[in-house]
Amino acid sequence: MALLRSIAISSNKTITLARSARSLTTATLPPLPYSYDALEPVISGEIMMLHHQKHHQTYVTNYNSALELLHTAMDKGDVSAVVGLQSAVKFNGGGHINHSIFWKNLRPVNAGGGEPPHKKLGWQIDTDFGSFNALISKMNAEGAALQGSGWVWLAFDKELKRLKVETTANQDPLVTKGATLVPLLGIDVWEHAYYLQYKNVKLEYLKNIWKIINWEYAGEVYEKEAQ
């Protein structure tokens, strides 16, 4: 959608600002790279369907609405409205970003899900955490300890050139914890991600999810950033 605006500000001198065409690129729900029941029995088809079609879709829809409102507010020069919309943009945009990564972080067992990382990422994990199992334990502990809703991440710090386990609250994307952090792996610990199946036993969900983690994707992202 291209919008042309020109704003004339009258004062002693007449200033005409021609707003160039700004197109509003809306977000769309990415398709899942596997069927809804492909991650069973670790994550049920029912959860995957709700998670993708309802929750992620809602973030996309609400992000787009917030974006439209933001666009209008920016054009009108309504600074209060622009600032007021930031939390909606952060929450819904963050939800969209995080879930888009999450679907790629998962993989059916019969397509290689759960196979531990090899090559460079494997070595980096050993260097930074001691062992693969130590990383798993740490991520599980951080995920279990998280109060409320949020995400637990395996991050690569581009500047320090090392891996890090981080958590973010609600739908805050990883970058809110550090501009140089790149997400390799994110685990959704919002209750909607596991409740229907695991109820309150979040730790069980965390222990099981490693069976369907797509380390190949994480490895690709890592190798690209570690250049």
Known binding-site positions for Mn(2+): 51, 99, 188, 192
Closest CA to 187 of 221, 136, 133: 136
Site string for other proteins, 185-204 (x = CB under 8 A): -----xxx--xx--xx----
Provide the CA 174 distance to its chain's centre, in angstroms.
Answer: 7
Q: Which pair of structure tokens corresponds to residue 143? A: 């995920």
Q: Residue 54, interface with other proteins (CB under 8 A)?
A: yes
Site string for other proteins, 108-147 (x = CB under 8 A): ---------------------------------------x
Residue type at position 163? L
Place of tokens 């890090």: 164
Q: How far is the CB of 90 from other proteins (least distance, A)?
A: 9
Q: How far is the CB of 58 from other proteins (least distance, A)?
A: 8
Q: Which pair of structure tokens corresponds to residue 68? A: 């439209």
Q: Which pair of structure tokens corresponds to residue 104? A: 């790629």
Site string for other proteins, 153-192 (x = CB under 8 A): ----------------xxx------------------xxx
Task: Give the phi and the psi of residue 18 in degrees, each rounded to 5.
Answer: -95, 110
Contacts with other proteins by CB under 8 A: the residue count is 19
Gyration radius (Cα) of the chain, Å: 21
